[in-house]
Amino acid sequence: MTQRFDLEERTAKFAKAVIRLCKNLSKDSINNRLIGQVVGASGSIGANYREANDALGKKDFIQRMKIARREAKESYYWLDLLSEANKNNENEIKPLLKEAEELKKILSAIIDKTE
């Protein structure tokens, strides 16, 4: 039970950190598009993880966990593009890239153990 809570908290912290980063980026046509994508994907990790915890069965749990993992991969992708578009913010983005990768690995391990 503690582990689930910790990952729920961790995914929320990640999404909030992405939001804080994005609020400080310059607003232009490129950033606006990338920001919308990364905020959506980063928030979906935790949302889908929470749904998995309320799953109706093992198959439903695994499916929702795979969606959460996919959103972690997508978050990494959009953060990588944000880093390219905002070279002056690379030091702020690097830890978020690392966290997206770690979340993906954690979710993969949970999926592997469950399958």
Domain spans of the chain, in order of start: 2-114
pTM for this predicted structure: 0.93
Mean pLDDT of 12-28: 97
* Cβ-based burial of 99 (10 A; exposed 0-12, middle 13-18, buried ≥19): buried
Instruction: Calculate what percentage of the chain has a pLDDT beyond 70.
Output: 96
Q: Which fold does the domain 2-114 belong to in CATH?
A: de novo design (two linked rop proteins) (1.20.1440)
24-74 tens-digit pLDDT = 999 999 999 999 999 999 999 999 999 999 988 999 999 999 999 999 999
